[in-house]
């Protein structure tokens, strides 16, 4: 009894890995088996088209992309894939591959780029008065104030925002708006507590 390969709808994930590894024939075999079992699964046809495209079989890739377009009409990526397959068919042997446009180059480079994390700003760093005695040094941040507010400790949140306004007068306008909201919440909470 032979082992049955994994041909669930996630066969496309395995096929993509095989394409990346350069094992196009195995990816094609897996996708063919997958679409035979799951003929409704448009992604299977999509990945099979990518297999054929990687193999250089433009006509077969175009057929698969046409099947995807039939099942998912109006998808721009599918239309672009069909155009690529048509362009591959139109090329004569020995023609140089089509150059990518500036926009395609930029998009490819953006996808390859690593995300740059911006440096912390003054807003992110707690303000501590080092001249104050240790017992009076209170580290206050917007995050801390919002934690108090989410826990329903409106008095603590209000106090934290007041300290932030003192420490960062340049952000006073923004903090004052939130301070006013918290004062209203405190008033409402106090009214609910009254018998």
Percentage of residues in the chain having pLDDT higher than 70: 78
Q: Where in the chain is the domain with CATH 1.25.40.10?
A: 11-95
Banded pLDDT at 1 (limits 50, 70, 90): very low
Give residue-wise pLDDT tens across range 45-104.
Answer: 989 999 998 888 888 999 999 999 998 888 888 888 888 888 887 765 555 555 667 777
Residue with the larger pLDDT of the pair 191 and 43: 43
> Which CATH number describes the domain made up of 134-193?
1.25.40
Residue with the larger pLDDT of the pair 187 and 1: 187
Contact criterion met (CB below 8 Å) for 27 and 19 = yes
Is this model's pTM higher than 0.75 or not? no
Most confident listed range (112-116, 130-134, 157-161): 157-161
Closest CA to 144 of 129, 130, 163: 163
CATH homologous superfamily of domain 11-95? Tetratricopeptide repeat domain (1.25.40.10)
Contact criterion met (CB below 8 Å) for 35 and 44 = yes
Residue with the larger pLDDT of the pair 126 and 78: 78
pLDDT of residue 185: 87
The yes-or-no verdict on residue 182 having pLDDT over 60 is yes
pLDDT of residue 45: 92
HEC secondary structure over 13-42: HHHHHHHHCCCHHHHHHHHHHHHHHCCCCH
Instruction: Tell me which residue has tokens 């826990």.
Output: 151
Arithmetic mean of pLDDT, 10-26: 88
pLDDT of residue 97: 54
User: Helix (H, G, I), strand (E, B), or coil: what is residue 151?
Assistant: coil
User: Helix (H, G, I), strand (E, B), or coil: what is residue 90?
Assistant: helix
The yes-or-no verdict on residue 107 having pLDDT over 80 is no
Closest CA to 100 of 87, 90, 117: 87
Average pLDDT of the chain to the nearest whole number: 80
The yes-or-no verdict on residue 134 having pLDDT over 60 is no
First to last CA, the chain: 78
Closest CA to 145 of 107, 117, 183: 183
pLDDT of residue 186: 86
Residue with the larger pLDDT of the pair 3 and 18: 18
The helix/strand count (H/E) of the chain reads as 9, 0
């Amino acid at each position: 009894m032979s082992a049955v390969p994994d041909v669930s709808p996630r066969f496309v994930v395995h096929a993509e890995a095989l394409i990346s590894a350069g094992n196009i024939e195995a990816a094609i075999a897996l996708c063919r088996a997958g679409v035979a079992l799951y003929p409704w699964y448009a992604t299977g046809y999509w990945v099979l088209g990518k297999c054929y495209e990687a193999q250089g079989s433009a006509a077969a890739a175009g057929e698969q992309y046409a099947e995807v377009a039939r099942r998912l009409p109006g998808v721009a990526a599918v239309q672009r894939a069909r155009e690529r397959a048509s362009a591959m068919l139109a090329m004569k042997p020995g023609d140089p591959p089509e150059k990518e446009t500036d926009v395609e180059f930029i998009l490819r480079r953006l996808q390859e780029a690593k995300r740059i994390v911006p440096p912390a700003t003054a807003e992110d760093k707690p303000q501590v008065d080092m001249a104050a005695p240790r017992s009076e040094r209170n580290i206050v941040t917007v995050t801390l104030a919002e934690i108090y507010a989410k826990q329903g400790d409106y008095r603590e949140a209000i106090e934290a925002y007041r300290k932030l306004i003192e420490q960062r007068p340049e952000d006073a306008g923004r903090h004052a708006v939130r301070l006013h909201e918290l004062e209203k919440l405190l008033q409402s909470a106090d009214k609910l507590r009254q018998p």
